[in-house]
Amino acid sequence: MTVFTPPKAVSGSVRLIRGIHRITVAFFQAGGGAELDIHFEGPGMSRQDLAEIVAVSEAALEKQKPQPKNDDEDAIDIKPELVEKGKVLFASTGCASCHQMNVDIKPLASSLKANSLDKLKSEGGCLSATPATGLPRYLLSDRQKVALAAAIKAPITPSKDPAEVIARTMTTFNCYACHARDSIGGVDLEGDLNKFFQTTQPEMGDEGRVPPLLTGVGAKLNLEYLKQILDRGSHDRPYMHTRMPAFGLSNVGALVEALVRPGHRHDAAASARAA
């Protein structure tokens, strides 16, 4: 007659320091089937199977070390080789020409160099109906393509007339989106963007929330103050939520000079009085 002995559970405890430990398990097989399950638990650890965290050697244990779980569905597995490839692509495909990405505190410089305007072809390239691989597709209208081709063939030297400089610079940097000058531009009070111009003092009306009129501004402000505003931006009207951006004098220095030229100051002041 065969007697089957049911599995017997035994337990014990030991204090372990943090790190890798060797473990030896010995058991005696009596009658019945061969069964062995080993579990462990401890402070901050629920009961779990020891087989999930053991290996035949320390090297094997390192290979099977489980990766920490991340419940973030947007989390990605960062692979060093792909990171390096991404840096190269960021610099070589033109991303760094518009966007800044710092590596070791230093920004990645673009390795893609575009031809200067005087070396561009008036036909083909990005102006063609089907630009070649690697060239941008601007979806330009036929009229725009004709105008660009003509400008490339015979570029016009920018006028140094103060009025022309002011109009050109304000168009280039989109100043007209917020400011009006000589009845051009400004916030459309019935447009979609009007709601974005807010103030902490609504009792002031539009004067407390809408960027100021620039007609005659050259006759109202001195040279140094204009330089400060256009170079570093302005926060002189704290009740306005909209902030004056900093453009840098290397970009808009010509605008400052044009606004305060003696002859233009007189014209601007006259325009302001007429308004």
Residue showing tokens 């305060």? 260
Per-residue pLDDT reduced to its tens digit, 204-260: 999 899 999 999 888 888 888 889 889 988 878 889 998 888 898 989 999 988 988
pLDDT given at position 275:
45
User: Is the Cα torsion angle 168, 169, 175, 179 positive or negative in sign?
Assistant: negative
Which residues, other chains included, contact 126 with Cβ-Cβ below 8 Å and sequence gap of 6+? 135, 136, 137, 138
Query: Among candidates 7, 11, 4, 1, which has minimal Cα distance to 40?
Result: 11
Q: What would the mean pLDDT of 5-10 be, rounded to a whole number?
A: 72
pLDDT given at position 221:
80
pLDDT given at position 139:
85
Which residues, other chains included, contact 141 with Cβ-Cβ below 8 Å and sequence gap of 6+? none
Q: What would the mean pLDDT of 5-28 be, rounded to a whole number?
A: 81
- 82-88 contacts at long range (C-beta below 8 A, 24 or more positions apart): none
Give domain limits for the chain.
117-153, 162-274
Full-prediction pTM beyond 0.85? no
Per-residue pLDDT reduced to its tens digit, 34-56: 778 888 888 878 888 888 888 88
Look at 247 and 63; give whichever has higher pLDDT: 247
pLDDT given at position 5:
62
pLDDT given at position 176:
94
Per-residue pLDDT reduced to its tens digit, 153-202: 888 888 999 999 999 999 999 999 999 999 999 999 999 989 999 999 99
Q: What would the mean pLDDT of 140-165 be, rounded to a whole number?
A: 87
pLDDT given at position 4:
56
Average pLDDT of the residues of the chain: 82
CB of 113 within 8 A of CB of 119?
no
pLDDT given at position 113:
79
pLDDT > 90: percent of the chain: 23
pLDDT given at position 194:
92
CB of 269 within 8 A of CB of 216?
yes
Instruction: List the beta bridge partners of residue 4.
Output: none
Give the tokens for residue 166: 């002011």
pLDDT given at position 33:
65
Give residue 269's pLDDT band: very low, low, confident or very high (50, 70, 90).
very low
Residue showing tokens 């168009």? 171
